[in-house]
């Protein structure tokens, strides 16, 4: 499982011109599901994302988590994160989960976050989405669990 988080002032995702997810201060998580991912990866990545200290404390140091600042979370499926890009000029996707499994793991991730941390906004799995954001910093981190 691969997660790319961006600290944002606000972010939204649209499908067919309709806003399906919208947050203010918080994190945009682009989530890539690999073929061997399971509940273990869901739990590890959710814990990491929710507790990663990338928000500024009163001294201006990155020392606070999403939970500490009461920030919001927007999760968007991003199949291209699992691409192999080390050879040639075309990405390979053999490590990616098949669509049925990818959707199940994505939905299980959303359910886990909603049940154990806080409600989150999300995109639509497999849809052509347009994402708007104001990256705060910019601050961006990549996780592979």
Residues catalogued as catalytic: 78-80
Neighbours of 26 (CB within 10 A): 25
Q: Which two tokens stand for residue 45?
A: 């990545």
Q: What angle do CA 40, 33, 12 make, to 5 degrees?
A: 110
DSSP H/E element including 11: strand 2-15
DSSP H/E element including 140: strand 129-144
């Amino acid at each position: 499982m691969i997660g790319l988080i961006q600290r944002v002032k606000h972010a939204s995702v649209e499908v067919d011109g309709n806003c399906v997810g919208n947050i203010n201060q918080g994190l945009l998580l682009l989530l890539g599901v690999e073929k061997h991912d399971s509940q273990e990866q869901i739990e590890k990545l959710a814990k990491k994302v929710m507790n990663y200290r990338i928000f500024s404390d009163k001294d201006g140091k990155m020392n606070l988590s999403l939970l500490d600042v009461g920030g919001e979370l927007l999760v968007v499926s991003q199949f291209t994160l699992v691409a192999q890009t080390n050879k040639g000029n075309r990405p390979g996707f053999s490590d990616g989960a098949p669509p049925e499994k990818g959707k199940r793991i994505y939905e299980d991730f959303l359910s886990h976050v909603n049940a154990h941390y806080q409600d989150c906004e999300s995109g639509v799995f497999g849809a052509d989405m347009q994402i708007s954001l104001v990256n705060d910093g910019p601050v961006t981190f990549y996780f592979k669990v």
